[in-house]
A and B are shown apart, each in its own frame.
Chain A
Amino acid sequence: MNLYYTKPLALILALTLPSLAEDANQMAFFEKHCTDCHDDETTKGNFNLTALQMDFTNPDNLIKWKNVYDRIESGEMPPKKKSRPPEEERLAALATLGHQLTDAESKSLVATGGRTMVRRMNREEYQNSMRDLLDLPLLHVAEMLPEDGQKYGFDKVAGALDISHIQMTKYLQTADVALRQAMVPTIEKPENKKWRQLASAQDSSRQAISSNMAVPLKGHKLAPGFATHYVGNPKDDIGNTYRTATFEGEADSVAALCNIFGAHMPQGIQIDKFNAPIGGWYTVKFSIWSLRWNLTTAEPSKRGMVQTYTVSGPPYFQDKDGVWQDTPLKTPIVQTNATPPWMENVEFYGEKEATHIVRASLNGIPIGYYDALSMKPTEHELKIWLNPGDHPSFHVMTALGGGATNWPSQNGVKSYEGPGVAFDWFEVNGPFNEQWPPASQQCLFGDKPISEVLPVAEQMKLLETFAARAFRRSLEVDEIKTYSNLVDCEIKRGSPYAEAMLTGYKAILCSPDFLFIGLESGIPQAAKDTLATAGDYALASRISYFLWNSMPDATLLNLAANGTLTQPAVLKKQVERMLVDKRSNNFIKHFTNEWLELKKIDATTPDINLYPEYDTWLHDSMLEETLATFRRMIMQNRSVKEIVAADSIMINQRLAELYGIRDVLGAEIREVKLPKDNPRGGIMTQASILKVTANGTATSPVLRGVWVMERVLGIPRQPVPANVPAIEPDATGAVTIRQMIEKHRADAACATCHSKMDPGGMALEKFDVIGGFRDRYRLAPGGKEGDTIIIVQSSSSGRNRVPMRLGSEVDASGVLDNGQTFADLNSYRKLLLDQEDVLARNVVRQLMIYSTGAGIRFSDRPAIDAIIAKAEASKYGMRSMIQEVVASSLFQAK
């Protein structure tokens, strides 16, 4: 027995920290109810309370004591099996410990001047600020900067935003790149011109035609002048022989018959004959329609192909008499007219004419998705910034991956039947310039050409205006001299005027006053024991980097300047205004990226053999769904409950296919009433979430469960104990993931955490890695014969029907750590919906960390509780919670 242990706990503590050991009742409480199990002899749950010093200046200790507080408060400790302390004793012990923790934290405030620290912008904030400051809405500089760190789940927290010399070098470079993009090379205003050409005249169309990937059309027929022939010697050198096509005639349109054109033509159909004379805004118009190619003729694009289709499972199956059930078609699988004939799944939308989907992109970045209606040319328009050398690209998302073959024995597109999209013409108008020189240059050089040297007073004025906007406040007396002296100096050294001015602007963009958020109101003086207010200008920036993820606009800065921004009514009105402004999309996107971990969407790619139906349209659609849902929660002030359940969802055709919902045609996301018995509704069951919580091959209830625990319930995970092997998913079908987890949890040390972590993941287990619903697991190819489903897919691998083996049935039941059981997802949902305040508290905490860039301390809890209490009246509506966060003392303090 340890000599120390023979002494009373109070005495041990007295030896280490006498001042805190004075509370004898507290010590007696610990000794009576805790140290039986948590001493150095028994050390249950690997926790030894007798070794934990009451030194709260040590951050690790502070966290441990907070855990002690939380466990006692929630009633988890002492455990139910042991004798319970009388309630007044328990509350007294909590109160004492609570005071000690609050006291310790308020002492540390003196050192920091507040709960937040000044911090540099993250790269998203930097890019958005540069866009607003320079009036360059499509400036791309974020990726020139190193990736940002993360703390408490967000890249907005001071402790995670370090500056290295690499970071600083990049700031110099990005400032230079951005400033030069703001300037125009010509003095004359470029003429706004209209350019229009047939799609079939583009080089990419010609190339696609020659490689059997597209056909030229005259009317609805193959255009005259088209011929196929083979290259090589099929008799002696079949390996180097293939079918190609030539086209010498005129065509009204070009129909693309496959999705991607392989590694040799990743650009798809491209507007390659148009060359932007100068960087600027252009409108691009194009006309498209969908069709079904049948050897030499374009026919109505009947029977839309779906990307997921099962033969033996829902939504369609063949009964034992071979009759198709639960499908609008008698024969959902048809043989095509192709040579050789091949089978195609064509049902889901019944005998209706299908809408096909075209994606427009620029340099690999999607611009939008557009509908191609059957046989009905439809004009679409998009507005985009084009630089010289930029050519928008178009891909058909709903065509098959393969299209016609280039086998010499086949006749190319003339022996092919399948879906396609015809492109009629492209029109480009622009560049559009509302003013000249463009606004971006005017904010640097005024309305005179760059070559015209302005009087010194006007130079100063330009620099001052720019600096005040960049620093998000009014300038101090003589503050501009740092920068104007630099310009002077450069001119004296013989630099050209424009270069000298740029040097001044670069210095402004590299200064701490621009790069650091939190300096706007000068240096706040922390009052003892209370939080200093952030100050008007600092508040303007805080609210702006919160709701726009960018710098404040003139309205906010004016309100800060005249001291009215802190008035509750004014502030409330500003929040409403900002949420309606389109810049709030920056918030919606960035906040969900971090909070819901959507930024991990590409961390893994679904295994092409297991999930051949996964494609880029689905990828982009699933992200859009979550953004649209969160936007709707804000705009319609919908309840926080919609994280868990909702009776309508925001989807498009691709998601409707994945979710098994009929009659949703087209690319646009719209509100759809959730059909009865459909398992969707609520953010938690959206494909995006199910994808980010899985890897490319298998789901793990543990990883999904941790996501639910942290992101929905707001319980942080405990660090993984050393020497515990992780659970490894196995797609061979030998053991189920549930069996593996149950084995793992049989160990009591593992069970403590896993009983909290796993339930959410168990409930979501009926969703696969791309968010599809499943009753049975898919198995890796190979292995024994078994039940098989057929997957239809259009993109990645060029195959269009993939047999998939099915494994064991999925079980979505489980037990909460408080012993409540659930049979399936819906009964788990009910358990979550009963804890509305828990869901709300989590969202408020996440919003608070995101907006203030600091973690939630123990002593901040009452302030958070007050926000929750105020938001209850709105049934925890999302917009109300945002309003209450902004109105809170915590948000407005340094």
Chain B
Amino acid sequence: MTHIAATPLARRTFLRGAGATLALPFLDAMRPVFGAAAATAAATGPPRRMLSICTNLGVLERHFYPTTGGRDYALTPYLETLKDFREKFTIFSGTSLPDVTGGHSAEITFLTGAAHPGTASFRNSISLDQYAADRIGHLTRVPSLTLSVAKGGSQSISCTANGVNLPAERSAAEVFKGLFMAGDAAAIAKQVENLRTGRSILDAVADRAAALQKKLGTADASRMDQYFTSVREVERRLLIAEEWEKVPKPKVSVAKIEDGEWLPEKLASMYELIHLAFATDSTRLITLFIKLDGFSEHIPGVATDAHGLSHHVGRVDKLEELKNLELAQFGQLAGLYKRLDSTKEADGSLLDHTQVLYGSNLGNGNNHDTKNLPVILAGGGYKHGQHLAFDKDNNYPLTNLYVTMLQRMGIEADKFSSSKGTMKGLEFA
């Protein structure tokens, strides 16, 4: 059961709405986006998307990792909750982010891989989603969404190239409004104006470059040509962004989303929002930071705050509570898989075109270990159904997976952060 208008319909409405305002040159500029989207839907399939989720206190390895690698592993208690999708995900063990230490400080480097967070001289670097957003963000209404489920604060797992942590949106309801409810005319006009100014600037400098180019020697002219081409490309992208502002927002059959107060409700709301955002192609890049600290209420079999539970110091009763907490999280994750997988898209499902990375910045919350991170990747168009087991003592770089994920997005990248290649053993479907 899906709550949204089928994607092709949304796209048609959208193009009709846009058509009235378009002049001819604009159509040409738009072609790579919408023309391509329409054309490639037939040729190379629907858009590729990426969701990265980080839960901040680790996952109990004993209930998560299968004991054997390969395809024939036996399900563990946590994986049991995901068993309907067994052929649609891959589990990774023995991986971590090289040189990422510092216990909880590593929350902000889960998607960046920057070395030694928490030290006085630490500087963060760009996160996986923002790296992708710099390259494909202009293709959708919103380049990326940065979300969190937390008791407070705006910490996220997304960082700019400058290492600045992007503030997370904690309210699914607010994001829903922004994406699907029409804004007021004045706000739209202001944004359109800003983008238009950018284009005027570029138009002026492009003329100057063109004039220079005619007079320069061949070698110098080739440098100037590179400048000129870049200017024209940015103009085109600004034009697209400007038109997005004027385009009516996609219609969904859900009237609103409630934020929810307890962990399970909050997760459910966020996952519903994520589903809608992807299905309407409002964005192709989302991060979700789950900061568990302080959550315990309304989870069956849990009485202690989540952070306290992660420091279980081996006590059987605490371990049991922690298992219940984590089972609740995996239950919601299964719900997300189901939402995505039951929305048909092209000749597969939305899940088949959406990479869902789920993991933690801690391998062991009890001792703040940042090695052996729990990682599971679902959907997105891979040959899934296996457990890729790497060396627990000499970890394999998780950043290699990030390179593979970028490539799966169709982004030309052979390196990201501390990567040393692409993820061994994970193939495109």
Does B bind A? Answer: yes
A-side residues, CB < 8 A to B, are 111-113, 117-120, 143-144, 146, 158, 162-169, 172, 239-240, 260, 262-264, 266, 268, 359, 361, 364, 366, 393, 395, 482-483, 485-486, 489-490, 495, 499, 503, 506-507, 510-513, 515-516, 518-519, 523, 526, 602, 605, 616, 619, 796
Q: Name 9 extra pairs, CB < 8 A, besides A263-B118, A482-B204.
A: A158-B223, A168-B234, A172-B234, A240-B313, A361-B121, A486-B201, A510-B202, A523-B216, A605-B115
- Kindly state whether residue B87 has any CB partner on chain A within 8 Å: no
C-alpha spacing A172/B116, complex, angstroms: 32
C-alpha spacing A172/B200, complex, angstroms: 12
Please determine whether A503 and B200 come into contact, CB atoms closer than 8 angstroms: yes
Please determine whether A619 and B121 come into contact, CB atoms closer than 8 angstroms: yes
- Kindly state whether residue B230 has any CB partner on chain A within 8 Å: yes
Please determine whether A512 and B217 come into contact, CB atoms closer than 8 angstroms: no
Please determine whether A144 and B161 come into contact, CB atoms closer than 8 angstroms: yes
Given A263-B105, A364-B122, A605-B116, do A162 and B200 touch, yes or no (CB 8 Å)? no
C-alpha spacing A361/B120, complex, angstroms: 9
Given A165-B233, A263-B105, A519-B212, do A507 and B201 touch, yes or no (CB 8 Å)? yes
Residue of A nearest to B220 (CB): A118
- Kindly state whether residue B218 has any CB partner on chain A within 8 Å: yes
Please determine whether B230 and A168 come into contact, CB atoms closer than 8 angstroms: yes
- Kindly state whether residue B363 has any CB partner on chain A within 8 Å: no
C-alpha spacing A483/B208, complex, angstroms: 11
Kindly identify, within residues 208 to 258 of chain B, every residue whose CB is under 8 Å from any CB belonging to chain A.
Answer: 208-209, 212, 215-220, 223-224, 226-227, 230-231, 233-234, 237
- Kindly state whether residue B374 has any CB partner on chain A within 8 Å: no
Residues of A contacting B116 in the complex (Cβ-Cβ under 8 angstroms): 605
- Kindly state whether residue B163 has any CB partner on chain A within 8 Å: yes
Residue of A nearest to B217 (CB): A113
Please determine whether B237 and A112 come into contact, CB atoms closer than 8 angstroms: no
Residues of A contacting B208 in the complex (Cβ-Cβ under 8 angstroms): 482, 511-513
Q: Select A263's contact among B104, B162, B227, B313, beta carbons within 8 Å.
A: B104
Please determine whether B212 and A165 come into contact, CB atoms closer than 8 angstroms: no
24 cross-chain CB contacts under 8 A: A113-B219, A117-B220, A117-B223, A119-B223, A143-B161, A144-B162, A165-B233, A168-B234, A169-B234, A260-B119, A263-B102, A266-B118, A266-B122, A361-B121, A364-B120, A364-B123, A485-B204, A490-B200, A512-B212, A518-B220, A523-B217, A605-B99, A616-B119, A616-B121
C-alpha spacing A601/B408, complex, angstroms: 33
Kindly identify, within residues 161 to 210 of chain B, every residue whose CB is under 8 Å from any CB belonging to chain A.
Answer: 161-163, 193, 197-198, 200-202, 204-205, 207-209
Residue of A nearest to B124 (CB): A364
Given A118-B224, A260-B119, A616-B121, do A506 and B201 touch, yes or no (CB 8 Å)? yes
Residues of B contacting A507 in the complex (Cβ-Cβ under 8 angstroms): 200-201, 204-205
Please determine whether B120 and A260 come into contact, CB atoms closer than 8 angstroms: yes
Residues of B contacting A796 in the complex (Cβ-Cβ under 8 angstroms): 119
Name the distance in Å between B395's Cβ and chain A's nearest Cβ.
15
Interface string of B100-116 (1 = CB under 8 A from A): 00111100000000011
Residues of A contacting B120 in the complex (Cβ-Cβ under 8 angstroms): 260, 266, 268, 359, 361, 364, 393, 395, 616
Name the distance in Å between B138's Cβ and chain A's nearest Cβ.
9
C-alpha spacing A786/B205, complex, angstroms: 69
Residues of B contacting A503 in the complex (Cβ-Cβ under 8 angstroms): 197, 200-201
Q: Select A526's contact among B119, B217, B231, beta carbons within 8 Å.
A: B217
Please determine whether B102 and A167 come into contact, CB atoms closer than 8 angstroms: no
Residues of A contacting B119 in the complex (Cβ-Cβ under 8 angstroms): 260, 266, 616, 796
Residues of A contacting B205 in the complex (Cβ-Cβ under 8 angstroms): 507, 510-512
C-alpha spacing A395/B313, complex, angstroms: 32
Please determine whether A516 and B223 come into contact, CB atoms closer than 8 angstroms: yes
Name the distance in Å between A776's Cβ and chain B's nearest Cβ.
25
Q: Select B315's contact among A113, A239, A262, A519, beta carbons within 8 Å.
A: A239
Residues of A contacting B198 in the complex (Cβ-Cβ under 8 angstroms): 172
Kindly identify, within residues 231 to 289 of chain B, every residue whose CB is under 8 Å from any CB belonging to chain A.
Answer: 231, 233-234, 237
Name the distance in Å between B417's Cβ and chain A's nearest Cβ.
13
Residues of B contacting A169 in the complex (Cβ-Cβ under 8 angstroms): 234, 237
Residue of B nearest to A166 (CB): B134
Name the distance in Å between A112's Cβ and chain B's nearest Cβ.
4
Kindly identify, within residues 294 to 316 of chain B, every residue whose CB is under 8 Å from any CB belonging to chain A.
Answer: 308, 311, 313, 315
Residue of B119, B217, B231 with highest tally of chain A CB at under 10 A: B217
Name the distance in Å between B18's Cβ and chain A's nearest Cβ.
23
B-side residues, CB < 8 A to A, are 99, 102-105, 115-116, 118-123, 134-135, 161-163, 193, 197-198, 200-202, 204-205, 207-209, 212, 215-220, 223-224, 226-227, 230-231, 233-234, 237, 308, 311, 313, 315
Q: Select A490's contact among B123, B197, B220, beta carbons within 8 Å.
A: B197
Residues of A contacting B135 in the complex (Cβ-Cβ under 8 angstroms): 166
Residues of B contacting A163 in the complex (Cβ-Cβ under 8 angstroms): 226-227, 230
Please determine whether A168 and B223 come into contact, CB atoms closer than 8 angstroms: no
Residue of A nearest to B225 (CB): A163
C-alpha spacing A395/B121, complex, angstroms: 11
Residues of B contacting A616 in the complex (Cβ-Cβ under 8 angstroms): 119-121
C-alpha spacing A166/B132, complex, angstroms: 12
Name the distance in Å between B237's Cβ and chain A's nearest Cβ.
7
Please determine whether A512 and B104 come into contact, CB atoms closer than 8 angstroms: no
Residues of B contacting A118 in the complex (Cβ-Cβ under 8 angstroms): 216, 220, 223-224
Given A144-B162, A490-B200, A503-B197, do A512 and B227 touch, yes or no (CB 8 Å)? yes
Residue of A nearest to B200 (CB): A486
Please determine whether B103 and A164 come into contact, CB atoms closer than 8 angstroms: no
Q: Select B121's contact among A166, A264, A364, beta carbons within 8 Å.
A: A364
Residue of A163, A483, A796 with highest tally of chain B CB at under 10 A: A163
C-alpha spacing A132/B227, complex, angstroms: 24
Name the distance in Å between A155's Cβ and chain B's nearest Cβ.
15
C-alpha spacing A489/B200, complex, angstroms: 9
Name the distance in Å between A421's Cβ and chain B's nearest Cβ.
15
C-alpha spacing A489/B197, complex, angstroms: 10
Residues of B contacting A359 in the complex (Cβ-Cβ under 8 angstroms): 120
Please determine whether B219 and A111 come into contact, CB atoms closer than 8 angstroms: yes
Name the distance in Å between B115's Cβ and chain A's nearest Cβ.
6
C-alpha spacing A605/B233, complex, angstroms: 40
Listed from nearest, the 5 A-B pairs whose CB atoms lie closest are: A239-B313, A113-B217, A165-B233, A112-B219, A168-B230
Residue of B nearest to A144 (CB): B162
Please determine whether A240 and B308 come into contact, CB atoms closer than 8 angstroms: yes
Q: Select B218's contact among A111, A146, A482, A495, beta carbons within 8 Å.
A: A111
Residues of A contacting B99 in the complex (Cβ-Cβ under 8 angstroms): 605
Please determine whether B230 and A164 come into contact, CB atoms closer than 8 angstroms: yes
Residues of B contacting A523 in the complex (Cβ-Cβ under 8 angstroms): 215-217
Residues of B contacting A506 in the complex (Cβ-Cβ under 8 angstroms): 201
C-alpha spacing A507/B235, complex, angstroms: 13
C-alpha spacing A440/B152, complex, angstroms: 38
Residue of A nearest to B107 (CB): A263
Residue of B nearest to A526 (CB): B217
Name the distance in Å between A391's Cβ and chain B's nearest Cβ.
14
Residues of B contacting A239 in the complex (Cβ-Cβ under 8 angstroms): 311, 313, 315
Name the distance in Å between B163's Cβ and chain A's nearest Cβ.
7
Residue of B nearest to A512 (CB): B209
C-alpha spacing A499/B197, complex, angstroms: 10
C-alpha spacing A506/B207, complex, angstroms: 15
Name the distance in Å between A234's Cβ and chain B's nearest Cβ.
13
Residues of A contacting B200 in the complex (Cβ-Cβ under 8 angstroms): 486, 489-490, 503, 507
Name the distance in Å between B259's Cβ and chain A's nearest Cβ.
28
C-alpha spacing A512/B230, complex, angstroms: 12
C-alpha spacing A136/B103, complex, angstroms: 38
Name the distance in Å between B423's Cβ and chain A's nearest Cβ.
22
C-alpha spacing A439/B193, complex, angstroms: 29
Residue of A nearest to B106 (CB): A263
Residue of A361, A366, A512, A619 with highest tally of chain B CB at under 10 A: A512
Name the distance in Å between B379's Cβ and chain A's nearest Cβ.
28
C-alpha spacing A268/B120, complex, angstroms: 9
C-alpha spacing A268/B118, complex, angstroms: 11
C-alpha spacing A169/B308, complex, angstroms: 46
C-alpha spacing A511/B233, complex, angstroms: 15
